Amino acid sequence: MMIKIGDKAPEINSIDQNREKITLKQFLGKKIILYFYPKDMTPGCTAQSCNLRDNYQQFLDNGYIVIGCSADSPEKHQKFIEKYDLPFPLISDERKEVLNSFGVWGPKKFMGKEYMGIMRTTFIIDENGVIEDIITKVKTKEHTEQILK
């Protein structure tokens, strides 16, 4: 079930790259850019994460915090963060609970084959935890412009 603009964001109860507990509640009062991406260290995901990294100050200046999420392990996230100097946390959702609650885990097609995977999607969440915008046609190298349009 896909979430719609105006819906309350589902609560997240997961861990980040340091195996620290991470919830959406802890960021109440802040605007959140929550981006779901398929896999650490892959070209598209690296381009997207680095685009957000390069414009991180702009997000902070606009009152946003940035959080990434994929099904990778905390250790893999840690390597991804270190390799590309990412300044924001990455949620590790190996059990796909967060992915399912946001409706971004599902059938995908690649080269004629269908498989289950993460649909690259970004949710903009306001200070009250309400979905303000949803970006499904993510342009990995121009993602900041899509968010701060």
Query: Which residues are catalytic, by number?
Result: 45
**How far is the C-alpha of 116 from the C-alpha of 137, rounded, in Å?**
18
Identify which of 102, 46, 36, 40 has the alpha carbon closest to the alpha carbon of residue 69.
36
Contacts of 69 by beta carbon, 8 Å cutoff, 6+ apart: 14, 34, 35, 36, 37, 90, 91, 93, 98, 99
Token couple for 140: 């990995």
**How far is the C-alpha of 15 from the C-alpha of 76, rounded, in Å?**
13
Could you give the dihedral angle defined by the CA atoms of residues 134, 136, 140 and 142, in that order, rounded to the nearest 10 degrees? Answer: -60
Contacts of 98 by beta carbon, 8 Å cutoff, 6+ apart: 10, 12, 14, 69, 91
